[in-house]
Structure 1
């Protein structure tokens, strides 16, 4: 049973999540670099959605919590394989449910995050098309 659980929560899965976070952060850096307008006082400010920093923080917090739960789950599964008691089984099951819950929250945060980035991309494309048509 431990080998099945271990195969579900391997380093490749964690690495995939880290890669997704890296890609989204690259998009943000691109917007901060290229999508700037003049503020009322003449200084440049980014027009990227103001909700993104909060979502990024939420994703980071959920990711940290997920790593903690995975670490605890692996420990509890080891205890369960050694002891085979009802208590250790319930503890591993509880952590498994917590992990599923946090992953659902993380998925929803990523969906919201990608929707905001998609809207920013669409707005930027519309703006560029409009500028292109005005220049012709």
Structure 2
């Protein structure tokens, strides 16, 4: 992955994830969106009316990770940051997904911390069949 822009953002500890029992018997995790994450996403996507971002969080196949570089917890803002600054998705597409939910399955993602640019270990998968 190429170098991504790393803005200065406030780092706060998010609420604990909610454990999900999936129909397959596997565990999933509902990452509750923090105010700092919501504000960071709104800023990146140029959303002035933050009431548009009504989602409570994202449903993932693993618990949040803590960045070894700066201590920020992985979050939806990192996924948005990575996709935007790597040129994978545009702002309008991502805002539509955040407002209306994911359109399809997604491959695993390597997450680069939007706080310092360190890469988290492992891959992160979201659960597209469940509502955000």
Q: If the TM-score is normalised by the length of the shorter chain, which range does it land in?
A: under 0.3
TM-score (norm 1): 0.22
The answer to which structure has the higher helix fraction is 1
Instruction: State the structure with more CA Rg.
Output: 1
The answer to which structure has the higher strand fraction is 2
TM-score (norm 2): 0.23
